């Protein structure tokens, strides 16, 4: 064996290099290359099957919008513009004056109603004092109009009180007169009754004398006439007493009716005055509000969007839009357009990432959001130009976090900023992404006419 190996070595020393390579054993790497390739393919297949990647829908366009409508300032009624104190684009703070209307008519209405309220208040106090029967007392006030009407009602109170007391005094005097007459009539009844009794006795005596033949018939008739006259006078006196008593009762009833009528009229007037006061107070409140609206004041921190094409001295019609302002604290949202072919997987609640065109997202980062709603129908025209475009859906995204970095101090998202949004609608295998591309390519290949 050793000799054969020695002989083979000697023979090979005389062969060419090609022969040496041909007779040399195969390299280990060459023998295992196919195994490495198969293993790599299998590994890639496993990775494509197991690895999950985000399924992202990109918008075609979008912009920042507000989630609330702008505040609209307008004229309550036809008014003359006195001043315009802001310009479009100005940032105003709560309470700042935006514009002023001519207050002449509003001030006149307020003044008239204030005087009416003052008059009615004084009238009600006077009527209440009359009903109570006490002294008239007005509350202290610095209001000139109120003091004026208090003075007028105080004078009227004195006059009416004097009239009331005079009428009661008249009834009292009539009471006293009637009572005196009644007392006199009652005191005369005794004497008249005594005269009637005497006349009766005289008549009886005359009758007895005539029956005995000692008296004349004329004297009998005379005594009878005297007795009848005395009884008639007594009966008339009794009737006069009854009449006086009825008259006294009638006077009492008249006095009571007068008092009740006076009080009833007062209560009726007081109710009417109170109703009128309530109506006037309500109208006065409206007039005050109307006068307050003469000065248009910012309700909150805002930015002025538009101002009507008008100037100082011009007339604004009732309800005509004058100034529109957007509150600075109004939450913003993103409204994006998604192609009709991509909208199928989007659902409310899906996370979204907003790339603001004004800031390169690779340098300044992204803003986070969440899908709130999707339009119920597709749109086929451009919102700004009205030109036909590919069908798209509107998707509203609430901005949940503004994660932009390296931006100016005081930065905020301004309505109108354009952007592109990526909506994460879920996960899918990496292999599906690759296969989708291949399937799309093959399905459309070699079909040209």
Residues in the chain: 449
- Domain range summary for the chain, segments of one domain joined by +: 55-68+329-446, 71-102+295-325, 107-293
Q: State the pLDDT at residue 329.
A: 76
Q: Which CATH architecture has domain 71-102+295-325?
A: Beta Barrel (2.40)
Across the range 165-186, mean pLDDT stands at 76
pTM for the complete prediction?
0.50
pLDDT of residue 437: 58
Count CB-CB contacts under 10 A for residue 175. 15
Q: Which CATH architecture has domain 55-68+329-446?
A: Beta Barrel (2.40)
Residue 355, pLDDT score: 92
**Fold match flag (71-102+295-325 vs 107-293):** no
Tell me the C-alpha distance between 20 and 315, whole Å: 111
Least confident of 158-167, 229-238, 325-334: 229-238
Is residue 333 within 8 Å of residue 110, measured between CB atoms? no
Strongest mean pLDDT among 55-69, 391-405, 426-440? 391-405
Fold of 107-293: Substrate Binding Domain Of Dnak; Chain:A; Domain 2 (1.20.1270)
Confidence of residue 443 (pLDDT cuts 50, 70, 90): low
Query: What is the pLDDT, as a whole number, of residue 275?
Result: 93
> pLDDT of 179-215, one tens digit each?
777 666 666 665 666 666 676 766 666 666 666 666 6
Given pLDDT bands bounded at 50, 70 and 90, which one contains residue 344? confident
Residues 15, 19, 21, 23: is their CA dihedral positive or negative? negative
Distance CA 369, CA 350 (A): 9
Exposed (0-12), middle (13-18) or buried (19+): which is 66, by Cβ within 10 Å? middle
Residues whose CB falls within 8 Å of the CB of residue 323, separated by 6 or more in sequence, listed in order: 72, 73, 86, 98, 99, 296, 304, 306, 307, 308
**Cross-sheet strand order for the sheet of 97-101:** 295-297, 97-101, 79-84, 315-316
The pLDDT mean for the chain works out to: 80
- Greatest mean pLDDT among 130-144, 218-232, 271-285 lies in 271-285
What local confidence, expressed as pLDDT, does residue 444 receive?
A: 54
369 touches 421 (CB < 8 A): yes
pLDDT (tens digit, 9 = 90+) per residue, 383-424?
777 888 899 999 999 999 888 888 888 788 888 889 999 998
What is the residue-wise DSSP string for 11-31? Answer: HHTTS-HHHHHHHSPPPHHHH
């Amino acid at each position: 064996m050793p000799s054969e190996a020695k002989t083979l070595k000697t023979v090979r020393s005389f062969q060419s290099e090609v022969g040496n390579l041909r007779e040399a054993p195969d390299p280990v790497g060459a023998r295992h290359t196919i195994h490495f390739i198969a293993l790599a393919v299998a590994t890639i297949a496993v990775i494509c099957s197991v690895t999950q990647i985000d399924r992202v829908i990109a918008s075609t366009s979008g912009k920042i919008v507000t989630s609330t409508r702008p505040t609209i300032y307008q004229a309550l009624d036809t008014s003359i513009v006195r001043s315009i104190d802001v310009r479009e684009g100005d940032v105003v703070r709560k309470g700042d004056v935006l514009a002023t209307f001519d207050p002449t008519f509003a001030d006149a209405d307020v003044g008239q109603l204030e005087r009416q309220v003052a008059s009615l208040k004084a009238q009600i106090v006077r009527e209440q004092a009359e009903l109570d029967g006490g002294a008239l007392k007005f509350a202290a006030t610095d209001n000139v109009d109120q003091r004026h009407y208090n003075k007028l009602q105080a004078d009227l109170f004195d006059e009416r009180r004097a009239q009331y007391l005079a009428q009661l005094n008249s009834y009292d005097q009539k009471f006293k007169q009637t009572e005196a007459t009644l007392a006199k009539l009652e005191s005369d009844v005794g004497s008249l009754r005594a005269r009637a009794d005497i006349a009766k006795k005289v008549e009886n005596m005359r009758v007895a004398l005539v029956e005995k033949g000692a008296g004349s018939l004329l004297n009998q008739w005379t005594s009878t006439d005297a007795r009848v006259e005395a009884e008639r006078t007594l009966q008339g006196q009794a009737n006069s007493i009854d009449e006086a008593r009825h008259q006294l009762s009638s006077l009492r009833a008249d006095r009571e009716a007068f008092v009740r009528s006076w009080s009833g009229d007062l209560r009726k007037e007081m109710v009417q005055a109170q109703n009128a006061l309530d109506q006037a107070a309500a109208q006065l409140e409206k007039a005050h509000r109307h006068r307050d609206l003469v000065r248009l004041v910012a309700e909150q921190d805002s930015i002025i969007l538009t101002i009507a094409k008008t100037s100082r001295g011009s007339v604004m019609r009732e309800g005509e839009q004058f100034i529109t302002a957007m509150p600075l604290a109004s939450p913003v949202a993103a409204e994006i357009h998604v192609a009709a072919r991509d909208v199928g997987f989007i659902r409310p609640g899906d996370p979204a990432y907003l790339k603001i065109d004004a800031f390169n997202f690779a340098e300044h980062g992204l803003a986070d959001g969440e899908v709130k709603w999707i339009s119920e129908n597709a749109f086929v025209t451009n919102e700004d130009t009205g030109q036909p475009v590919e069908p798209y859906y509107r998707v509203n995204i609430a901005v949940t976090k503004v994660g932009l970095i390296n931006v100016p101090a005081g930065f905020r998202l301004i309505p109108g900023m354009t952007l592109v949004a990526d909506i994460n609608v879920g996960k899918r295998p990496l292999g599906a992404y690759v296969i989708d591309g291949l399937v799309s390519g093959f399905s459309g290949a070699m079909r040209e006419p």
